[in-house]
Chains A and B, each alone.
Chain A
Amino acid sequence: MHKAVSDVGCGELANRIVRDRCGSYLGNCSIRCSTSCIHAVVTTSYILCMLFLATLPALADESLPPGPFTETECITCHTERDPSLIRQWREGSHSAASGVGCGSCHGDSHKESAIKARKDQSCTGCHEGSASHSYSTSKHGIITRIEEARQDWRQPLQRGNYRTPGCSYCHLHNGDHGNTMAPDRGPETRQWICAGCHSPRYIREQFANGKRQLEIADLKLKEGESLIASAVDDQAGALSKLRKSLNHHRHNVLLGIGHQSPDYQWWHGQPALDGDLIRIRDRILQSSRRKSLADNLEE
């Protein structure tokens, strides 16, 4: 049996909590791992953070013009106010090029604009099908759905504020307008987001398993590709269809891992890939038999 390796140091974790919640106010604390120290730091940082966060509503309560606004108006004003936010959006996949602007998620006025965008419905209008179904049947998805009415959606997308993560909690964590789950953000960002509820070791093991599952799906993809490459012909385009099917099912495995849906990892994923491989082999076998027969008749 495998023995799990030791956890991320608690001191490091506490330090991270301080940085995340209070930004530069406390970011330079240096902490060593000892229980009493963690206790002290966590308690102090929590109190300071609460004080800091308590001042936020007052700051936000500046009378905001109600709107409606055009896309250009949103961008002009927010480029001045939140340049980093606009930069994140421009560099991300929701940039002006793909046509997803501020209004797509926030609506065209300031009225409940953040609340609207935080709810899953603002994403699932476009991200439908397997992308949203793999999430909506996961434990996170079902709890978010049945708690929606009770959840305080005015809370920022930060640890401790949501019982379960909705789309925006993970993908726009802390209001970051790039995709915080994008591969180029690295595993640390993803682990940090999960760590609001789950232990570092649990996250690490889940990630490691997900990576292995995806490697296995990739091996199936590779097996299928090399079988297709070895085929002498592709009658009626059956092999091309099966190649598409392989890629589709491999993507389901990825969605299943990312959204923690056992059903997408399994029934829509791994055994479906097995079925593709069987059918690819069968096509190859049948065409080779038919070809021998045809060659023989020609002779």
Chain B
Amino acid sequence: MRNRIIIPLILTLLAVPAGFAYVHWSKGGTGTGLYSRYWSPDPVQGYWDPDNFYQSPDSVQGIFTGELCVQCHEGITPGIVTDWRGSRHAQNEETVYCNDCHGNDHQQLRLPTPDVCGNCHAKQHDEFRDEARYGFPSHVLAMERAVDAKHFVDKPKAEVQSCVQCHSVATKCDSCHSRHRFDAAEARRPEACITCHSGPPHPDDETYFASAHGKLYLAEGDSWDWSKVLTKGNYKAPTCAYCHMDNGRHQVAEKSLWKFGLREINPHTSKNQVLRRKWVKLCSDCHEEEKARQWLTELDQERKQAWQKLYAAEAILKDLRSEKLLQPAAGERPPYPMDWLDTLWPRERIGFFEGQASVFYNVSAIERDYFEMWYFDNLGAYKSAAHGNPAGVAAGHRKMRASLDRIETQANELRELSQAEKEAEITTKPSGDLWMKGAYTDYNREHN
């Protein structure tokens, strides 16, 4: 009896620190994050994640400060000097010079990180760091999220530099406050967000610009006074920052109701009700509260319909998996390098969460269709619903319906084909090495 308690207790006491030690060890490689031992950065990554990978230049020797830096760079890189001259850093009574952010030893220069900016902008920096408590998705955790994705680790590092350009919102402040003007007024405008918040999985730009708010911005925004803070009465229509960073609070995830459209949530929990009240209060800057509540309910209804369609597609794929009709089968796909368990027990990962966001390659065509339905059609519908673009909602759901129909048709064709093969007593040919070979596939295996 005593042993029954003591042995599991000892095992637990050993397992917990061993787990922590393993995670600590796994982060100690040439890359960063949980899979850091499986990758090394592309040389350009130092510019996107300076804290971890930036190396100072060794071209010019010497200690430089203040006007000396400015005078030399006036000739070498006049664009950034003009930019800086127009900034508050240059116009302040107490000038903020190049060396205040970059350091003064030219062979030890640093690329400023949020911590450097935080030396002066403490409030914004603290808010930004504190965003981590809302979990993913958020700006502050964006880089972690990128490097811990399986496709980031698996693919050639040059290819996935396109990911870290946007995910560097976690590691640099100039994603929104572009250098060297660092203008709050610029960051308040919707365009400041759209370099990253555009494209198939997050068409925030299109869906916002198509909304009544966005149309008003496009028509009149150029004449608004963008030096004003993001509070009630200062803007005729809300922009990205007005709603997601109201009062200039640097925590875009703070009021996240539906988690970027990525999670299915229960709108009736007390936590969700608290968030909802924040939104209603914000909308009531211009609208009646009742109207705001109604819009949020409409968003919930749209999400409910979207998830029903996604579950229907997922059920079809899971059936195909059980019937062993997915080709290539799991063992016929190039595995992710760190998925050693997959080599022992290969299995198809169905569903957004089971497969993470990495299911867009090394899978069968029908799984890719589901990925596009999930990631493009569904998230497009969500963004339209959240930004008040009814035409976009209708289009998104039409696309989801079409994807679901296509997935159903393909599944039936696969079943019929398999049935016909059985009747003709043909053994279904495995896909062999069709998925395993090719100019890129071979390169990727050797250079990931």
Report which A residues bind B (CB closer than 8 A).
1-4, 6-10, 13-14, 17, 35, 38-39, 41-43, 45-46, 137-139, 142-143, 145-146, 149, 159-160, 162-163, 195-202, 205-206, 208-209, 212-213, 215-216, 219-220, 222-223, 226-227, 256, 261-263, 265-271, 274-275, 277-279, 281-282, 284-286, 288-290, 292-293, 296-297
Contacts and interface: CB of A to CB of B under 8 A. Distances in A.
Contact of A226 (B47, B71, B77, B438): B438
A32 to B, nearest CB: 13
B53 interface: yes
Given A1-B41, A262-B196, A202 B47 contact: yes
A138 B166 CA distance: 11
Contacts of B181: 163
A197 B158 contact: no
- Looking at chain A's contact residues, the main secondary structure is helix
A4 B429 contact: no
Contact of A42 (B57, B75, B424, B443): B75
5 contacts: A17-B76, A42-B74, A159-B78, A223-B439, A223-B441
B440 A160 contact: no
A268 B199 contact: yes
Interface in B356-383: 360-361, 363-365, 368, 372
Contacts of A208: 43-44
B429 A209 contact: no
Contacts of A160: 78-79, 81-82
A60 to B, nearest CB: 22
B161 interface: yes
Among B57, B372, B439, which residue has the most Cβ atoms of chain A within 10 A? B439
Given A145-B191, A163-B181, A268-B200, 16 more contacts: A8-B59, A35-B62, A39-B72, A46-B75, A137-B195, A137-B205, A142-B191, A197-B77, A198-B77, A205-B44, A213-B159, A222-B440, A223-B438, A279-B368, A286-B417, A289-B417
Contacts of B360: 271, 274-275
A275 B376 CA distance: 13
B227 interface: no
B411 to A, nearest CB: 13
B298 interface: no
A142 B46 CA distance: 24
B198 A263 contact: yes
Nearest to B200: A267
A223 B441 CA distance: 8
A227 B80 CA distance: 48
Interface of B: 30, 40-44, 46-47, 53, 55, 57-62, 68, 71-72, 74-83, 86, 156, 158-159, 161-163, 165-166, 178, 181, 186, 189, 191-192, 194-196, 198-201, 205, 222, 327-328, 360-361, 363-365, 368, 372, 417, 420-421, 424, 426, 428-429, 431, 434-435, 438-441, 443
Nearest to A13: B76
B222 A149 contact: yes
B47 A35 contact: no
A145 B428 CA distance: 57
Nearest to B194: A137
- The 6 A-B pairs with the shortest beta carbon distances in the complex, nearest first, are A160-B78, A42-B75, A197-B79, A7-B59, A282-B365, A212-B158
B372 A262 contact: no
A281 B75 contact: no
Nearest to A276: B368
B187 to A, nearest CB: 11
